[in-house]
Structure 1
Amino acid sequence: MKNIVVLFFLIYSTQTFALDSFDKETNKVIHEMYIEIKGTQLKYDLQLTAIQKQIDGVNSKLILTKIMEEKLELLILKDQLKENYQKTQLDNISDISKIRYIKGLQIIKILYEKVLSLDHHFASVRTFSEISKMANPNQYPEFEKVKQLVKDKRDKKQGFDLTSVLGTNTLVSVINTFSNMMVSGLSKEEKEAELAKIDCILDFTLRMQTDLNTIYFETAYLQASNNSIKSDIETLFKDYTKSINYIVSLEECRNNDDWDKVSSQLDAYLIAMEKAEGVQKNKMLINLEFPIDRLIQFITQYNNFINEGEKFYQKFSIILNSYENEKQCESKLPLEYKRLKSDIDIAIDKFNVAYRPVEINGTKMKEILYGINEFQ
């Protein structure tokens, strides 16, 4: 048996070696669960095989013996072996359910931290506080100076002032400034000199305003989606721990570091399940199984969101690098623009590493979902 176990782990290690560089948290728990389930299956398969051999031996003796007393004893022994076989099968299912449930709790804990980290990330992205400054020339001191100069030099009879509402409108403000400049007392050389001070600002804001607003609104969408994910995992935890009589919310559990209480509640439940029999034991086992299936569904939802988020940020990167006069206007572009580009690159890296989708598919999905392997 020892040699078989060693062989199993040698085979498995070659399959998972390439996964070492993947996410070191959630996927690590998934791999641990996979190994523990496989080890448990192997242990019980050996026990079941041994019992089946005994049953086969009894059947052979029943065919050969002619003595009634021996037949009766063999029949009684066969019934005992069958009961033992069924009990071993149930113990196998029970132990795998325990592994899945405990590892599931670990996964929920890790994913919740990732979701909270994402929430913090979206809340702190500079697009919310600085995109209006980048997209509106009225936020640039250089443009304000030119506006004021033109206003002071304009022909009072032909020029006009905008209302407080229209004055904040990017396009209207730019048109008004140019109109007033045309009827101002500035010479041609002075007009050209003033335009040279703001040409890059106007070019950048007018070209990029729509794109920058796209980043703003789509980031807001991602944050709203993450809030939905956060609500879903909190509901999942509530359903997950209800069966073990733990009624504290996930947020409160995390804030109070109450994970030991969850573990003790689970231990008490497992002890009660060990003592239960028949229908009651099956019911308690189902109570462990159902929330695990919900967890698998949530993992799929989380993976889809992370994949979607990464695509959005790749799109943002393309948008920010699409400004065609970047090199020509580099010295005059706002620092917020350069920092936002850097933030987007960092975010893409985080989606690839820190928030990486949970690896659970194919054969491994069957193993974790149903506690069976492809050879059964």
Structure 2
Amino acid sequence: MKISLTFLLILFCMTSGFAKDEIIDANIMVQEMLTEITEVQKTFYLKKNAVLNQITTINQQLKIEENLNKKVSLLIQKDALNDNLKKLELENASDISKIRYIKGLQIIKILYEKVLGLDHHFASVRTFSEISKMANPNQYPEFEKIKELVKAKREKKQGVDLTSVLGTNTLVSVINTFSNMMVSGLSKEEKEAELAKIECILDFTLRMQTDLNTIYFETAYLQASNNAIKTDIETLFKDYTKSINYLVSLSECRNNDDWDKVSSQLNTYLTAMDKAEGAQKNKMLINLEFPIDRLIQFITQYNNFINEGEKFYQKFSIILNSYENEKQCESKLPMEYKKLKSDINIAIDKFNVAYRPVEINGTKMREILYGINEFQ
């Protein structure tokens, strides 16, 4: 039985209105697509084999039939069956195209939510606002107090005041503070006591500064890459819906919850395609088919980014766990450091679950691209 256009559109409407915190996984959509294509193919091959069996029977009759009128009648029946076969094949291609297009549209929506989720994640990740503080001893009140103490106790002729630029440089500031301490009026015991207050801060910032900056810049790189992917999926949606004459941007469609309008435009297009014949029908089919290739290309790009992002965050986790004096200085380490470690671990879990790649390799790739399965 031919797949119901109404059923496909109802299915699209049901899944296009799900809440943003209940986003269906794209892999589920891929599997649903393959299942529906398989069911269509089963029905098609049952019908096709029935017609082929009739043609085989007629061919056998033609070999033994001597009556001219009966032969003509059989040939007419055979031509009608061949026409029916072509019609079945065109209907099958049309049904598969509808499934692939509608499911592809749903996958775009799901992946856009994931990309926006990543965009929010990178924008709010604590590295951007706090990593410079963690890596710079000048941002710690304890170190500032010692700088002020040393400044007040130093020998005026021997001490050195840093410029506003050099004063923010971590290494120069630390060296300057130690130099001024050496020529200050503090006793040996006082110097040792003051140093004990900041030894963990200095050890942590000087050992981890390069590593923390690495996390900062590589996270910035990931955010820039995600912005590029966001632009690409918005362009994909524009190209994808152009054929059904829906000309609103993806972001505007999402913000205005305009998916019913997309469904309406798609309904109009599919209805017109079902009524079309010949070259016009083939052209309309091609318009549905072409965007699928673009979608597959985007999914590959998205998968590569997710895999890359997970590796980056695993690297960040190793970096943050590499501080060798963490146990000894635990009480002195900034809360931002502990929170960052937690954020990184959560992000790794999200890359594995919430943002995980779409599984479209091998057989699945072939079925999605060409609608070919084990029945062919």
Task: Tell me how far apart the structure 1 counterparts of residues 349 and 147 of structure 2 sit (CA, whole Å).
Answer: 42
After TM superposition, the structure 1 = structure 2 runs for residues 87-126 of structure 1, keeping only pairs within 5 Å, are 87-126=87-126
Matched, 1:31 2:28: no
Return the TM-score normalized by structure 1.
0.93
Q: Which residue of 2 aligns with 1:315?
A: 315
**May I ask how many residue pairs the two structures share in their alignment?**
355
Q: Which residue of 2 aligns with 1:338?
A: 338
Return the TM-score normalized by structure 2.
0.93
**Structure 1 residue 371, shift from structure 2 partner:** 0.4
Q: Which residue of 2 aligns with 1:63?
A: 63
Matched, 1:300 2:300: yes
Partner letter of residue 316 of structure 2? F
Name the SS of the counterpart of 1:327 in structure 2: coil
**Structure 1 residue 360, shift from structure 2 partner:** 1.0
- Residues 321-367 of structure 1, C-alpha deviation per residue, up to 9 Å, x if partnerless? 00000001000000000000000000000000000101111111111
Contact 1:167 1:173 (C-alpha < 8 Å) held by counterparts: yes
Task: Tell me how far apart the structure 2 counterparts of residues 112 and 45 of structure 1 sit (CA, whole Å).
Answer: 36
**Structure 1 residue 375, shift from structure 2 partner:** 4.8
After TM superposition, the structure 1 = structure 2 runs for residues 202-221 of structure 1, keeping only pairs within 5 Å, are 202-221=202-221
After TM superposition, the structure 1 = structure 2 runs for residues 207-246 of structure 1, keeping only pairs within 5 Å, are 207-246=207-246
- Residues 225-267 of structure 1, C-alpha deviation per residue, up to 9 Å, x if partnerless? 0000000000000000000000000000000100011011011
**Structure 1 residue 368, shift from structure 2 partner:** 1.2
Partner letter of residue 54 of structure 2? Q
Give the superposed CA RMSD.
1.0
Partner letter of residue 26 of structure 1? A
Contact 1:154 1:180 (C-alpha < 8 Å) held by counterparts: yes
- Residues 269-322 of structure 1, C-alpha deviation per residue, up to 9 Å, x if partnerless? 011111111111111000000001110110000000000000000000000000
Partner letter of residue 120 of structure 1? H
- Residues 33-64 of structure 1, C-alpha deviation per residue, up to 9 Å, x if partnerless? 01000000000000000000000011111111
Matched, 1:146 2:112: no
Q: Which residue of 2 aligns with 1:265?
A: 265
Task: Tell me how far apart the structure 1 counterparts of residues 279 and 294 of structure 2 sit (CA, whole Å).
Answer: 23
Task: Tell me how far apart the structure 2 counterparts of residues 34 and 274 of structure 1 sit (CA, whole Å).
Answer: 22
Contact 1:127 1:215 (C-alpha < 8 Å) held by counterparts: yes
**Structure 1 residue 374, shift from structure 2 partner:** 3.9
Task: Tell me how far apart the structure 1 counterparts of residues 367 and 43 of structure 2 sit (CA, whole Å).
Answer: 16
Partner letter of residue 339 of structure 2? R
Task: Tell me how far apart the structure 2 counterparts of residues 265 and 80 of structure 1 sit (CA, whole Å).
Answer: 35
Q: Which residue of 1 aligns with 2:280?
A: 280
- Uncovered stretches (5+) of structure 1, i.e. residues with no partner: 2-22
Name the SS of the counterpart of 2:327 in structure 1: helix
- Uncovered stretches (5+) of structure 2, i.e. residues with no partner: 2-22
Contact 1:363 1:374 (C-alpha < 8 Å) held by counterparts: no
Partner letter of residue 236 of structure 1? L
- State the 4+ residue runs in structure 1 displaced beyond 3 angstroms: none
Task: Tell me how far apart the structure 2 counterparts of residues 154 and 375 of structure 1 sit (CA, whole Å).
Answer: 88
Partner letter of residue 152 of structure 2? D
Over the matched positions of the two proteins, sequence identity in percent amounts to 81
